[in-house]
Structure 1
């Protein structure tokens, strides 16, 4: 009996414990990392730390040389001519030249010359360079493409508009009249103004009328008082004509 129990409790040599193998079905790994949200990705990209670049040692790079481009003699001459044009003329109008022929330009010059209006040609680069440092800097945006200057010693805007109206290749863009920068509509409004002689005549006539009315008002009461006093004196002296006139009044 004891031997039977010992044989059951003490395992035999070379005996292995019982193992029960449980077979499971194989499953594919379907769990992946969830992608980052778009806004979070943008926030992470914006807030990413960027280390500063190390400063270069002094003398590691050659010093930068600033090259100053000198203007040619022709450019200086053109700028001098522009300065004389803007200083000697009261009317400077910018016009667009839409591929007009040489013959059309000659005819236009002849028509404008009758009114003492000249046509000037200058490169846009020189015009913009000159206007950037002058009081007419607001005219610089008008010089795009093929442009011409119509200048005159006197503000003859009305004559200019009448002459240019017959040349469809020339389009007015704006200008400066008596140190006032005007648009195309401003030039049209300026042309409708009366001449200086007419305005001066109207001003003188208005002032004369006001002066005469003031003088009449100031003399009315003294003259009326003088007439009353004269009538009173005649009545006191017993003049029959005065009595008759006083009775009629």
Structure 2
């Protein structure tokens, strides 16, 4: 079983809930779709936990690049810029090196599927509109690619036999089976900052033998994560939005 995580955003409280779930289920592999840092108050502690995971497959996100100093933050909002600057100043050298060396997606996970932060065509591009999604299917190989970046869980299904593109809203706790004549772009949502008006942690498990995915939503210590953001002197908006799931 594979655990598919995206957009952790330095939210150690949320990651702890996911790792407790993983221990109970004896998860075999950890797949991370980028944006490990940014926004939240515990970048070093979270990266320490991520680096301990074995085996793991990770691609970089836009916040990872900015916090590692690889790119500028010109497109970020004010709270995001402030959090990126704060994170960059506090990263330990070993964690900075880990972030700076993360690979660009799309990346193969074995020979089974690929992963990317944003679109497999452009790691910084959001997959929201039909035109972009159609182009994204041309940019990866195989049947399946997991992506993040939007913080919105769900699945784009391309039925190649009919030339039809569908959006599938995954239901928590229910398995969704991949069809052999279709290709898929699947988003697990966000661990650290959900934006679908549900503050619970959002992630996926993937069963490669049975070719099926399942969405999970978990309660976590949202108030503790918000208090940590405020105690760090980060923008209050970053704390407030956690409880609202926006």
Tell which structure's C-alpha radius of gyration is larger: 1
Same fold (TM over 0.5): no
TM-score of the pair, normalised by structure 1: 0.20
Bigger proportion of residues as strand: 2
Bigger proportion of residues as helix: 1
**Higher relative contact order structure (alpha carbons within 8 Å, sequence separation ≥ 6):** 2
TM-score of the pair, normalised by structure 2: 0.20
